[in-house]
Structure 1
């Protein structure tokens, strides 16, 4: 039998080969396309994890340097990919964590305003270099070698700020705690040690407190005409990243600016006249040592009877177990006693006259003057020679109020003395405000503080209620008490005057809630223009609101020849109780609205229409309008523009200059307006469209995917920013606002409704909302959050400033609030896992502050 021509098995073989080929092709496709995608997701999750852990490291470092509460932090340096039986993985991701070389931090134009040894040490001691205060500190850098993610940032810890360093920019990931303008505190967190960790596995970093910040010294300007300046070393050197880092610091400092020095450091310029300086030092890794008295000084703590001596290190903080030699007199050869300081850095003596550290003799030979204290007979009994604290800079605002309205009082209370006038130098523990009516009735207000949390220079800020006070003139007196129990002498109290009058009508007006002026069409002598405004307080019968039209009013030419003329216009009131009049002549024009019977309650929208306005050949021009409530001096402004035609506008391509619409405005996909834009109705920017200037909308505002607004947005209605859209300026809205995934607002937000921020969205300034605020995962607000309702900070989201709300605050896992949280009670704060507030664990912050 022959099988030479039998082909019955060929189809099976061919089919098997083809199937095997498809299998190989499928596996190759999976290896090339899907394995990298899955690995990229694993790398992204690791990058998010390690950023959260790096922020925890930052918080631990700050806690260790400020309150001595050091706790270990684990950081996953790298990551591994899951095993794949038939596919190949790249090598595991490795990461590195290291400290920089020690570099100099400098405070310039600073004069330490203290007395005795404190002044001598800070003027002549190791921290003073040619009149500048200098300290050495290090920085921490983390980097990872990802295989799939391109352009992942390095993470840096620099002077309390966590920075993400990308190839072409640098972005802040936390708040800063160096300059606290509200408390007038400069807090320097120094870092020491050598740390160098590389690999894939989890590493534990255990910060060690080397000098916990417990004391302050007062910094004033050495040259009163120049500001205080802090020069911060940075490990970022590329011009583009350094410029952006400078902006990050600038955004985080109130009442100050940031700039780049000639040798690529960051210079912080702070404008207040005085600050309390606190310094803490923390170490990581090896080559660290706890600060002791060897580079420090010795001071006397005023107290009647027993002499109390405190030993401080070079950073002004108490030294435990420091050796103090006690002598009978300056002629003594051997000490009468040798004592060790307690946990507060202090010793007590009933009989000693001379106290020294670092082996300095009773006569001071071979030592510095600040290493010795001599108790003279005249001051051995401190009771009669130490003055109480002095009160300076007493101010109230406003100085004229209606009965029942509150006012703010500020004053500076200082227990810092001089050589000619000794004060206790202890923290301020109480204050008293006495308001005396012209008829002799007094209204006392007492304030108590924990001296462990206040300094020797204490800024009193009190909002004073006048619900039970009478109408009339008041003289206010402010005095303070230090921790030694001494009150301010009568010759050094603070004084101010206040006038209370009968209220004219309801709630006091302090701001315009909203204003809007409609656009007009060019080349017309019959244009109508609408003016709309509302106030946050009651407009009493007979009270006025003035609308200033000087900027658009053209007094130079005949009607229609140039710009705008209101000379022949008439006015009607569309909503509101009152009447309105318009006056125009020459370069000036204004509309005056006068509230009618019963007045207009706060929040009422008042609308006025001006008819028969003349407009010239001025399409694209834009003008300012000022609204004023003369009775309180409250003002605000807005703008309007001139359209070329009436009705809705739709734009495609490129428009050179401004563009305005009397209806709605739509910018088509990839359309560009190279100027400002505005509409009486809604404004819509579609995919990748762009407006180079500001946008004003009488309705809602929608910014489409990848669209850009180069200026700010002012809308009467809701504002929506879609995926990856960008607004470089400030957003103001009379409605609610949604910030889409990866969208960015370069300035602040001020809206009347709710604000919702989605995944990885950013706001560059303060966010203010009358409603609720929700921050999505990994979103970032670089200023404060002020809300009228609940605030939710999502997982790994960040508020770099403070949060103030009438509702509750909820922090998600690993979320961060860089400043303080102001709510009614502790129960209004909900802490997620690993969440932090002001550099502390959330629960710790709540327990210490509420």
Structure 2
């Protein structure tokens, strides 16, 4: 009997052990679901918040370009995509929304011969003077420190739960000018994919004004606008106030002296109600121009040739602009199959599998750094299709880093053919920019580190203009579990080691932001000159090594970006 009882006890022990192992497995899976999955999703959401910041800044820049008659579009990533999980469960992917706000009136008062005259409806095209702001917002599942964004009166604002920070400079008030860019169309798109935002330029009216008073709707307080508009000016010719008794608030700008007022309405994905500017690309389709336009373009198609493999097509582009450009996005929206071809569904760009363009699909970000030097620089793009590509016709749509875009209509060579250039490209955007920028890599886990930042303008930077170098991506806005990888708060500009070309440079940093402001204070900076800014006292941590995106923007024109990593 003892033997029988001992066997039963041993069997019971094995069953209990198996149950314990199963319980441990369930607990481990539960812990992974509760802690690891949210942590991984939070990292994805954080990266998306960095990506969308660049997208919305691109929208703001496209609105400014529309004021000059240039037309481009921006693809905004509305929400992040979580990885698929076989054993674990993701929450629903958060949907972002980009939209215009309700239309609000704009009031323009001009002093004509000692009497104040309301010229609102005469100074801006259209029968009614009104504007909207453009907003983006998203509610992430994990990351709770992401701002909402608002483009209002030429400024991009980042709205955090406890603070509002400008994400760009302003173009509302110039040296002797006032620029109003009323956004007129209603627009809204929500989801987890991408939204195409295409500002369409309207007509422009130029009006000389004297001691003008302009009232604009705003979501922000007086201190915010004084810091942006009034404090940087030393002449005292504009007084800023905000009436917070109205809904929304009213920004009141009181000017002293003579100014030139420019008013140019902008439509979103369609012409404004007052009509599109002559020569603009109306329709709001997200396209970049007509087929083979006759006008000269900045980025031209030079030649098309076949590669050694029947699926490879080589396309050579030439940049005739005065600024260096790099390819940031691309897609193939159209493909016509000829008699000698197969049926391609995708093409790999420059043998980089991460840059795979699927035919008739949305824009893809170009990971490879494809740079086309200014003033005649050339680059050859290799399209490796997944089937034969001979005697076919396809369209390659390219978006460059400065927001300009182009359509290339490419007639692929026959199997025994030679070069066959058949297309031109339309590229837009002529703002002053940069011929080169650089930010030095720095070591991880160090204190008192030096870092060199350089830039060269592609055209003269006039005396009094500024260049802003934004270091937010490294300084960032991060949670307690994800400290800033770089801290610029203890750092400063080493003027003795810098080459400032007669100008001055300053570094400002807080927990959330960091930026360098260079001012051409002593003289103009020529396009052949390089400004070198040496930072000292930079601190870095272990962890995220980047790369970190660093936007460079000119107060008189365009912008570009560099990057650096922790080594």
TM-score, normalising length: structure 2? 0.50
Higher RCO (CA-CA < 8 Å; seq separation 6+): 2
TM-score, normalising length: structure 1? 0.35
When Rg is computed on C-alpha atoms for both structures, the one with the higher figure is: 1
